[in-house]
Amino acid sequence: MDNIQETLIAQGKKARQAARILSTVSTTLKNQALLNMADQLEADCQEILKANGLDLEMGGQQGLTAALLERLTLTESRIRDMALGLRDIAALPDPVGETIESSRRPNGLDISRVRTPIGVIGIIYESRPNVTADAAALCLKSGNAILLRGGEEALNSNRAIARIISAAAIETGIPDGAIQLVDSDDRQAAVLMMKMHEYLDVLIPRGGKGLKMAVLENAVVPVIMTGMGNCHVYVDESADLAKAGPIVMNAKVQRPSVCNAAETLLVHKGVATRFLPAIIAELQADGVQVRGCPATQQLVPGICRATEDDWAEEYLELILAVKVVASLDEAIDHINHYGTGHSEAIVSENYSSVRRFLNEVDAAAVYANASTRFTDGGVFGMGAEMGISTQKLHARGPMGLKELTTSKFVIQGDGQIR
């Protein structure tokens, strides 16, 4: 533990020094670095795939679930997407130095509120190695240094990606220490990061319930909580069922291992008889295990009974809990009780029902007649994201460049005293 702590402190000091320089680096230089990082990811694609192969082999031996292995897997296409994400970030406006608001006071003082980098950001994340590139790129463009601590299951992949992008950034003129990987498979390293208040300005955990609980119990660094997605699709009594079917299928099946995939389907009793047998048959044909309430079981005999735990579960695999509800009120109450504040959807042609759902459901992203799968920084025009913030302070929803800045007041006078 002493060696891990000493290494982390050294990395923290280095990140602090780099952050001071990075906060003043020009937009042009940051963009050049991002483009060079993207080029090198593609140039060294085979090296990354080889490292990823080691992780997948070890994951298989350790019995990782199919969902975790899918999140862990890199392909040439996914590496190209990583590079594209970096190029997209380079093309976005630089938030640093943006004037948010300004005014002149009666005493002649000009007061402006200006975006500035946060400083040093730590991120603890699981499984998906593409996060290494996305997070580093977003922090670089927003003028922040970053300490990256990925899951032990992706250590070889993260090593390769971090080495490549850090070297490319330094080569362009970005200070050494701006992008650093916490190169340890010891979980104590994550716990130590949670206590590095002298070096980290904010910590962003991106993972499941276990990571969230560890952060709540250990962190003394300010935290922006992200990740957990117990997302719902509610099919209202007035829903166009021709829309509802594809929305449900996309939300559950298109990529079940990600946090914006649906985990629970709520169906109004007025359309349950017409909708549930057909949609459950379609879900089962795509390999989904359905767990239903008693009313759902009556309509579709043979499916498993949903337990109380199922309503709160983030499966991240081809499992879906299904409940018949008596009203819009019951649907909203169910979501606000069991949801994690991530993404929630209603399918309805009733304007009043849609407005009530969008206004009363407590989540970072609420949808009318669209899949929850759209909650994503890239889809929202942010280039990429640090994660989906499910808290209410500072940032909520996909965290892009602006969410990785703070602000300061800049006051200009001409000799005024108070």
Residues 6+ apart with CB under 8 A from 17: 175, 177
**Residue 360 pLDDT > 90:** yes
Q: Long-range pairs for 57-65 at CB < 8 Å and ≥24 separation?
A: 58/153, 59/153, 62/153, 64/153, 65/317
Query: In angstroms, rounded to a whole number, what is the distance separating the alpha carbons of residues 255 and 373?
Result: 8
| Single pTM value for the model | 0.87
Give percent above pLDDT 90 in the chain.
84
By the 8 A CB rule, do 204 and 224 touch?
yes
Query: In angstroms, rounded to a whole number, what is the distance separating the alpha carbons of residues 293 and 63?
Result: 31
> Kind of pairing, strands 179-181 and 262-268?
unpaired
By the 8 A CB rule, do 300 and 290 touch?
yes
By the 8 A CB rule, do 113 and 15 touch?
no
Strand partners, 320: 290
**Residue 227 pLDDT > 80:** no
Residues 6+ apart with CB under 8 A from 302: none
Residues 6+ apart with CB under 8 A from 279: 244, 245, 248, 249, 265
Q: Take residue 302 and report the two structure tokens written for it.
A: 């043979």
Which of 15-24, 160-169, 277-286, 372-381 has the lowest average pLDDT? 372-381
Residue 384's CB is within 10 A of a number of other CB atoms, namely 28
By the 8 A CB rule, do 268 and 332 touch?
no
Q: In whole angstroms, how far apart are CA 110 and each of 213, 409, 417? A: 45, 10, 14
Query: In angstroms, rounded to a whole number, what is the distance separating the alpha carbons of residues 87 and 108?
Result: 43
- Positive or negative, the CA dihedral 357, 284, 263, 365 is negative
Give the position of tokens 């509802």.
244
pLDDT digits (tens, 9 = 90+) for 71-117: 899 999 999 999 999 999 999 999 999 999 999 999 999 999 999 99
The domains located in the chain, with CATH, are 2-226+386-412 (3.40.605.10), 231-374 (3.40.309.10)
CA 26 to chain CA mean position, Å = 27
Per-residue pLDDT, averaged over 137-141, amounts to 97
Q: What local confidence, expressed as pLDDT, does residue 290 receive?
A: 98
Q: What is the rounded average pLDDT for all residues in the chain? A: 94
pLDDT digits (tens, 9 = 90+) for 145-192: 999 999 999 999 999 999 999 999 999 999 999 999 999 988 899 999
Per-residue pLDDT, averaged over 190-196, amounts to 94
**Residue 1 pLDDT > 60:** no
DSSP 340-389: -SSEEEEE-S-HHHHHHHHHHS-SSEEEESS-GGG--TTTTTSSS-S-EE
Query: In angstroms, rounded to a whole number, what is the distance separating the alpha carbons of residues 307 and 329?
Result: 21
DSSP 154-203: GHHHHHHHHHHHHHHHHHHTPPTTSEEE-----THHHHHHTT-TTT-SEE
Query: In angstroms, rounded to a whole number, what is the distance separating the alpha carbons of residues 278 and 283?
Result: 9
